[in-house]
Structure 1
């Protein structure tokens, strides 16, 4: 699966005593009703976020994970997480050329026509 959107927030890397590390990102989707989606990157995938900045447009390839947890009172709870494993970065650069409009064309632009 994949999610495309604009980076809203990047959190700091969290490192745990066990050696486990993760970093989270919030991506705002571009659709009629935008959603703020929290995606986590774990272990070596944390490095995928080192060149990502807020307001970047990216596509994140994800896996949805679910787990069961039983608390001390014996109540079973279920949790979901979205884990990223690949990122495609869309170009945020804009061209310095002005757009072509009918008024910007002259007769010289048509000299190479074959007829």
Structure 2
């Protein structure tokens, strides 16, 4: 399933190449979400890292991405893997997750979760 988000580019990191030859590049997009803007980290893999070359900090973008999950040592991790970027104000009308449920329809069990990040 594919998702989209629209926001302003906050950070574009340099490409990372690992010993295996695998290459990735990360960016952070700030999405306006009510009173609390969210900084969303997305990664681009292999040939998709070139999509970030023409972007600049502060630019409004709409990013199409997939959610990928994996298990490592009994812990579960998620990654947002981008595959398309549209730049400019015309990219989308609002700065939000396009596939997110309407406000008030989130599972309230998340309100009691521990916010400690393991890494």
Asked if Structure 1 and Structure 2 have the same fold, meaning a TM-score greater than 0.5 normalized by the shorter chain, the answer is yes
Structure with more contact order per residue of length (Cα contacts < 8 Å, sep ≥ 6): 2
Structure 2 unpaired stretches of 5+? 91-119
Aligned mates of 1:69, 1:30 — CA distance in 2: 32
Task: Return the offset for 1:77.
Answer: 0.7
Do residues 77 (structure 1) and 75 (structure 2) align?
Answer: yes
Aligned to 2:47: 44
Q: 1:24 aligns with which of 17, 23, 26?
A: 26
Uncovered stretches (5+) of structure 1, i.e. residues with no partner: 71-75, 93-115
- Structure 1 stretches (4+) deviating beyond 2 angstroms? none
Q: Give the RMSD, CA atoms, in angstroms.
A: 1.3
- CA distance in 1 between counterparts of 2:19 and 2:75 reads 25
Match of 2:87 among 86, 89, 103: 89
The total of aligned residue pairs comes to 87
Once residues 17 and 38 of structure 1 are traced to their aligned partners in structure 2, the CA distance between those partners, rounded to angstroms, is 23
Secondary structure, aligned partner of 1:18? coil
Q: 1:61 aligns with which of 60, 64, 70?
A: 64
Larger-Rg structure: 1
Cα deviation for residue 31 of structure 1 reads 2.9
| TM-score, normalising length: structure 1 | 0.72
